[in-house]
Structure 1
Amino acid sequence: MMLQDFHDVTIELLTVLQDQTIVERDERIDRIMQLLDQREELLSQIQPPFSAEELQLGRQSMRLNQQVDQLLLLQKQEIQRDIKELNQKKKTSNKYTNPYENLSTDGMFYDKKK
């Protein structure tokens, strides 16, 4: 029953997205990607006709999917914020290591004495 498997993977994905105990971001992102790939594969295998039980399970999966979308958006925003902070820190650090890098040299003086 592919729909049940899809529902189970969606619940697992939701759990991983809500789990704050996974400290290592790379590990968490890898697991999220695995589950998203698994869901995509299962989704392509789901074919009608559906029983009444499968329709109910499908509706539940749709509601869970909305929660997953919101949590993925929050995860994306968190990553974007961290990248922005990292770029700002890099720019600030670069100013300390090479403070004269961005100086303008357009004002030059030529001495015409002989």
Structure 2
Amino acid sequence: MIQAFHDLTAELLAVLEDMTNAEREDKIRKITELIDRRDEVLAQIKPPFTAVEQQLGRRTMLLNQQVDSLLMLQKQEIQRDIQEINKKKKSSNKYTNPYESLSIDGMFYDKRN
């Protein structure tokens, strides 16, 4: 089980290191699938562990740290893209309806009869 978890972690790391914007949605789908499979395998890992399994576990933890940092970078990139889209949307709305944000706080009365 630890070997399967290690292999999935290594595969996930390879996918994360090969991120390109052109294939981003497919990569995100693949990342999600690998994370789900890792969770299933992780639930099946139970002690006691042999010395070989402990060594493999340590290497897997190092890989997992790299995975975590790359996932954080991807999250930041996606958040930046969302902010950029929101700015464009706001700018587009101001262009299509420039008087939307004006506040009317006074009135004019014509007292001529």
TM-score class, shorter: over 0.9
Query: Shift in Å at residue 91 of structure 1?
Result: 0.4
Aligned residue in 2 for 1:105: 104
Q: Distance in 2 between matches of 1:83 and 1:21?
A: 17
Q: Give the letter for the 2:13 counterpart.
A: L
Calculate the TM-score normalised by the size of structure 1. Answer: 0.95
Superposed, 1:2-81 pairs within 5 Å as: 2-21=1-20, 23-81=22-80
Amino acid corresponding to residue 77 of structure 1 in structure 2: Q
What is the percent sequence identity of the aligned residues?
66
Cα shift at 1:25: 1.5
What corresponds to 1:84 in structure 2? 83
Question: TM-score if structure 2 supplies the norm length?
Answer: 0.96
Contact 1:17-1:72 within 8 A present in 2 as well: yes
Contact 1:13 1:35 in 2 (8 A): yes
Please give the per-residue CA displacement for 1:15-45, whole angstroms capped at 9, x wherever unaligned: 0000035722211111000000000110000
1:46 offset after TM fit, Å? Answer: 0.4
Structure 2 letter corresponding to 1:112: K
Which consecutive residues of structure 1, in runs of 5 or more, have no partner in the other structure? none
How many angstroms apart in 1 are the aligned matches of 2:40 and 2:89? 40
